[in-house]
Structure 1
Amino acid sequence: MKKPLLLLLSLQFFVVSAQDHLSGINTSKRIGLLNVSNNPAELSNLSSKYEVNLFSVSTIVSNNIVGFNDIVDGENLEDLLFKGEKPVNFRLDSEIYGPGFAMRLKKWSFGFNTKGYIKASVVDVNPSLGDAILNQAIQSIGGEPTKIKNDYNQRLNGTTWGEVGLSVARNLYATDTKKFSAGVTLKLLFPGSYANFGVSQFTGTITNNTTEQTIRNATANVNFAYSGNLANSFVDFSDYSKSVFGGLSGYAADFGINYQWKNKDKEEYKLNIGAAVKNIGSMTFKSDNNSSINYDLKIPRLPLPNTQFLDLNKFTNIESLQEIEKLLINEGFLTKTDGGNANFKVNLPTVFSGYADIKVISKFYLTLYTQQKLNDNGKNDQIITQNVVSVTPRFSFKNYELFSSWADNEISGTTGGFGLRICGFYLGSSSILTALTSDTKQADFYIGFQYGLR
C-alpha cells in the first residue's frame, strides 16, 4: 500500500547516509567557502589567497514525535508519527555543494559556488487526520468519530532546485587589530521539481473503525501545486534526485557584515562576529505539467443527491498529488477558486543568521550561533526552514579541529553532535551524541573536502 502523505518515509535509506547544516564546520577558524555560504562577508577573511571547494554533502532528518532509533529503523514509522495528540512536523533537508572557488585581491575578494537542494516536509498535520488517511486499513473496533477543527495550514511539500552563487566582499576598515567587512552573494536559481498539498481551516468528522472509514461534514481551503517529476510521483527518492537542476528561472541574494578583533602580531583572531540575511528571493516553476490551483473543499457538497462522505479506502495505492486531486474532483468535493495550469512562483526560505566565535584560551574557541526564519512556513508558496540556536566549543589548530555542536532546534528540540577537520577533509553530525544517550528526534550527517592555495 503506497501512502501519499509519507513521501518522507520513502527516503529512509538516505537518512542514515546524512536544522543547521554543517554545524560547527561552517564557523571554523580556518575560513573557506563553507564560511562564505554562511556569510558572504567572510570572503574577506579567507585563510588562503585562493580557496577551492571540491564537494560537500549535508543531510538532516528531524521531527517532533519519534526518536533517532525509530527514524533509522523505519519500522511502523507512520503509525508512531500519528498516534500522538500534537500536530506532526517532519523534515528531510539535503544540501549538496559542488565545485567552488574564491580568491582575495587586495581589499576585494571574489568567489563562486554551486549547490543543489532537496527538501521534503510534513508541516503541522493533525495526527487524527494523518492517521485516518495513512492507516485506514488499521481500524479500531467500534472507534468513536473524531471531530477536528484546525485554524492553521497543514502542508505536504517537496522541492528541488540548483543554485550558482557569485560572491564579492570588501574590507571597509582595517587596522593592525581590527577589521570590518561587508559582502553580498547573488544567486542564479534553477528550479527542478515542486509539489505542495495544503489544507487550511479544516473542520470535519473522521470515523475510522471496522465498519466505517470516512470523512464527513468537512470544509477546508485546499491548494494543489506541482511541477516536474514530483507531479507524477513523490514516493521515490529518484523523483527528487534526478531533477535537482532545471532551467534558470529565479534570483536571490545574501547580504552580510563581519567584524574581527585580532592579535596584533598573529594571524589568529580573538573575536569574529558576523550577521547575514540569506535567501532573499524566489524562483518560478515553468514545467509543461505545471499546475497550481486553490479549491474550496466541502463534504458533502449540496445540493443532494451527492456523495455524503469521503471513503478513506480510496486513498489506497495513490502515489501522486494529481491522483488525490482527481479523486476529490471526481467525488464532487472540490470547487476551484483560483489558479490553473500556469507558471507559479515559490519563495526561498529567507533567514537571519548571526554568530560570534570567541577565543577563550589558546587554541580553544567557543561559537554562539542563531538562525531565525523570516517567512511563514504555513504559506503554500513558501519553502520551509526552521529556527536554530547553537553553541559549539572547539579545539582549533592549523591542520585539524575538533568540535562539538549543541543546538536547540524548533522541530527536534535539543541535539548534540561531534565533528572534525583534518587539513581540508571534514565530517560530522549535529545529533550523534544525543542519539547515543537520549534518542534525539533528529538524524544528520555531513562530509566534504576543501583546500587552500597560498
Structure 2
Amino acid sequence: MKKIIVTSFLLFGFITFAQEHFSGISTSNRVGILNGVLNPAEFSSLSKKFEINFYGLSFDVSNNKIGFKDLTSNTNLEDLLFTGTAPVNMRVDATIIGPSFAMRWMKWGFGLTTKANVKFDMVDVDPTIGNAISNTNLVLNTTLLNNPNNQRLDGTSYGTVGFSAARTIIDNDKYSFSAGITLNMLFPGSYSNFGLSNLNGTITENASGAYLTTNQPATLNIAYSGSLADSFTNFNDYSQSIFGKLNGLSTDIGVNYEWKDGKSNYKIKGGLAIKNMGSMTFKDNNNHNTNYTLDIHSTPQNLQGLDLSLFNNVNNLSEVEQVLFDKGYLNISDQNKTDFKVSLPTLLTLYADFKIVPKVYVTGYLQQKMKKDESNAQITARNIFSVTPRINLGFFEAYLPVSQDEISGTNVGFGFRLAGFYLGSNSIITSLADGKQANIYTGYRLAFL
C-alpha cells in the first residue's frame, strides 16, 4: 500500500519534462484541430481548408501540498505530502493526440481525431493515514479519524477516436454563428480504484507500529481491470494497454459566435461546449469490482487493531484486499466480477477571445466539471479559470496563460507557436517560483490551402 500511495512520485519521474491541456494554443485565432478538440463548432472555422496533426503531447502533475522546489530539497516527499490536516489531492494526467485530420468545405467542417489518455488520482486522502503507512519514524500518538468523504486512489488509461462535424448556421458581414458535434468511440484499456468512505476510527502509534481501528463500519470499493490489476506503481502499468477494445461512446457538442472585424478577423469570438458526455465499460478476464463494509476491531489475535505496516510492500489492490480478508475485517456487500461501467468527466467549457489591437488578443477560459470526483466509477476533472494574453504575428505566436486551478492554485505559464510547431507550459513560471503544478505540452501540425 505504501507503494500505491506514493505512485505519484514514480510517475513524476516520467512527467518531469512535463489540467487544462494545451492552454493558450487551443484558443488561438489560428484555428485548427486543437480548437476543434476544445469545441467541435470550431471545425467550421478552420484557418486553412485542410490540416493534418502529426502529434500533440500534454503532461501535467498537480497537487495541493508539494511545491516544485521541494523536489530538490532533502526533505522526504512523503512527509511533505502528508503534512497538516487538509486532505491530499493530486492529479497526474497525460494526453496524446495522435494522427488526426480536419477539413473545411463550404459552410461545413469535419474532423477525425485520435487520442490516448492516462490518469492517476489521489482524491481527499486523509494525511494521517498516509503518514502512518509511509512514515517509519513513529512517535507515541493517538489520532481520531472522522472523514465522511470518499478517499480515492484511482488510475485509468483509455483511447478515443472522434468523428466531428460542424456547420456555420449564420454568416453575414457583422457576425457568424456555428454549431458542431463530436462522436467519440472509446477504447478502455485499464482501470483501478480504491475508494474508502465514511471512515470513523482511531490510529494509534506506539513503539511497535501504527494501528487502525474503526468505531463504525466504513465502506470500501476495490475495482480493477487490465494491466492495473497486477500493479499501478509505475508508468509502464498504464502504457501497456492504453487502447483496449471498442466499448463505449461519448459526445461533445458546442457552439461558436464571432463579432466580425472585416472579412477574416473578429473583435470578439466566444464558444461554449459540453464535453465527455458518456461512459465506457471495462471487460477483461481479470475484472474485479466489489463493495465491502470495513470493520476493524480488536480481536484476541490482533489486540491493537490493523497493523498498517502490513501494507508497506503491497503492490496492487488484490494484495490489499487479501490482507484485509486474512484479518477478518472485510464483508462483501455487493460484488460484480464481470463488466463494470466508468463515467467520463463531463465538462462545461466557456471561452471568449478579445481583440485588443491588431495582432494582440486576450482570452478568458472557464472549465467547470459537471460531476463530483468522489464517485468510485467516475474519472476525475478539475475546475479551472484562466486568462491568456497573446500576440499573433501569423507565422509566430506567443502567449502567457495565467490560471486558477482548484487543486494547485495559481499558475503562470508561457508558450509559443512557430508555423505548425508549438511548445508551451501552463505553469513554467510559477514552477520556478515553487508552484504546485508541473506541465508541458508540444506538438506539430500542418495546414494548407
Q: TM-score, normalised by structure 2?
A: 0.97
Quick check: 1:125 aligned with 2:121? no
**Any stretches of 5+ residues in structure 2 without a counterpart?**
none
Q: Which residue of 1 aligns with 2:138?
A: 139
Quote the Cα distance in structure 1 between the aligned partners of 2:158 and 2:72: 26
Q: Which deviates more, 76-85 or 375-384?
A: 76-85
Report the CA distance shift for 1:75/1:424 in structure 2 as closer, same or farther (over 3 A).
farther
Quick check: 1:20 aligned with 2:16? no
Q: Which residue of 2 aligns with 1:236?
A: 234
Report the CA distance shift for 1:388/1:115 in structure 2 as closer, same or farther (over 3 A).
same
Q: Which residue of 2 aligns with 1:282?
A: 279
After superposition, where does 1:360-399 map in structure 2 within 5 Å? 360-399=356-395
Q: Which residue of 2 aligns with 1:10?
A: 10
Quote the Cα distance in structure 1 between the aligned partners of 2:75 and 2:316: 23
Q: CA deviation at 1:262?
A: 1.6
Counterpart of 1:418 in structure 2: which amino acid?
A: F
Quote the Cα distance in structure 1 between the aligned partners of 2:143 and 2:399: 48
Q: CA deviation at 1:74?
A: 9.5
Q: TM-score, normalised by structure 1?
A: 0.96
The CA deviation string for residues 131-182 of structure 1, in whole angstroms up to 9 with x for no partner, is: 11222x2212xx2210100111000000000000000001111002311000
Q: Which residue of 1 aligns with 2:199?
A: 202
Q: Which residue of 1 aligns with 2:162?
A: 165
Report the CA distance shift for 1:189/1:214 in structure 2 as closer, same or farther (over 3 A).
same
**Any stretches of 5+ residues in structure 1 without a counterpart?**
none
Q: Which residue of 1 aligns with 2:288?
A: 291
CA contact (8 A) 2:209 2:309 kept: no
Q: Which residue of 2 aligns with 1:50?
A: 50
Quick check: 1:258 aligned with 2:256? yes
Quick check: 1:450 aligned with 2:439? no
User: What SS does structure 1 have at the residue aligned with 2:99?
Assistant: strand
Counterpart of 1:206 in structure 2: which amino acid?
A: I
Quote the Cα distance in structure 1 between the aligned partners of 2:207 and 2:9: 26
Q: Which deviates more, 27-36 or 77-86?
A: 77-86
After superposition, where does 1:280-429 map in structure 2 within 5 Å? 280-300=277-297, 307-308=302-303, 309-429=305-425
The CA deviation string for residues 15-61 of structure 1, in whole angstroms up to 9 with x for no partner, is: 21222111000001100000001000000110000011110100110
User: What SS does structure 2 have at the residue aligned with 1:150?
Assistant: strand
Quote the Cα distance in structure 2 between the aligned partners of 1:37 and 1:326: 43
Q: Which residue of 2 aligns with 1:212?
A: 209
Quote the Cα distance in structure 1 between the aligned partners of 2:46 and 2:75: 46
The CA deviation string for residues 259-291 of structure 1, in whole angstroms up to 9 with x for no partner, is: 011222x41221110000000000000011000
CA contact (8 A) 2:2 2:133 kept: no
Q: CA deviation at 1:209?
A: 3.2
The CA deviation string for residues 70-117 of structure 1, in whole angstroms up to 9 with x for no partner, is: 247796211110022100001101000000001111111111100000
Q: Which residue of 2 aligns with 1:155?
A: 152
Quote the Cα distance in structure 1 between the aligned partners of 2:50 and 2:253: 22
User: What SS does structure 1 have at the residue aligned with 2:264?
Assistant: coil
Q: Which residue of 1 aligns with 2:436?
A: 441
Quick check: 1:249 aligned with 2:244? no
User: What SS does structure 2 have at the residue aligned with 1:327?
Assistant: helix
Quote the Cα distance in structure 2 between the aligned partners of 1:209 and 1:429: 45
User: What SS does structure 2 have at the residue aligned with 1:26?
Assistant: helix
User: What SS does structure 2 have at the residue aligned with 1:299?
Assistant: coil
Counterpart of 1:214 in structure 2: which amino acid?
A: Y
User: What SS does structure 2 have at the residue aligned with 1:4?
Assistant: helix
User: What SS does structure 1 have at the residue aligned with 2:245?
Assistant: coil
Report the CA distance shift for 1:292/1:9 in structure 2 as closer, same or farther (over 3 A).
same
Quote the Cα distance in structure 2 between the aligned partners of 1:321 and 1:310: 17
After superposition, where does 1:50-89 map in structure 2 within 5 Å? 50-71=50-71, 76-89=76-89
Report the CA distance shift for 1:424/1:370 in structure 2 as closer, same or farther (over 3 A).
same
Quote the Cα distance in structure 1 between the aligned partners of 2:70 and 2:156: 25
The CA deviation string for residues 374-421 of structure 1, in whole angstroms up to 9 with x for no partner, is: 001000000011100000000012111010000000000000000000
| Deviation beyond 4 Å, 4+ runs, structure 1 | 71-75
Counterpart of 1:353 in structure 2: which amino acid?
A: T
The CA deviation string for residues 204-225 of structure 1, in whole angstroms up to 9 with x for no partner, is: 1102232332112353100000
The total of aligned residue pairs comes to: 447
Quote the Cα distance in structure 2 between the aligned partners of 1:357 and 1:54: 26
Counterpart of 2:185 in structure 1: which amino acid?
A: L
Quote the Cα distance in structure 2 between the aligned partners of 1:73 and 1:324: 32
After superposition, where does 1:90-101 map in structure 2 within 5 Å? 90-101=90-101
Quote the Cα distance in structure 2 between the aligned partners of 1:5 and 1:90: 11
Quick check: 1:270 aligned with 2:267? yes
Q: CA deviation at 1:435?
A: 1.8
Quote the Cα distance in structure 1 between the aligned partners of 2:357 and 2:389: 12
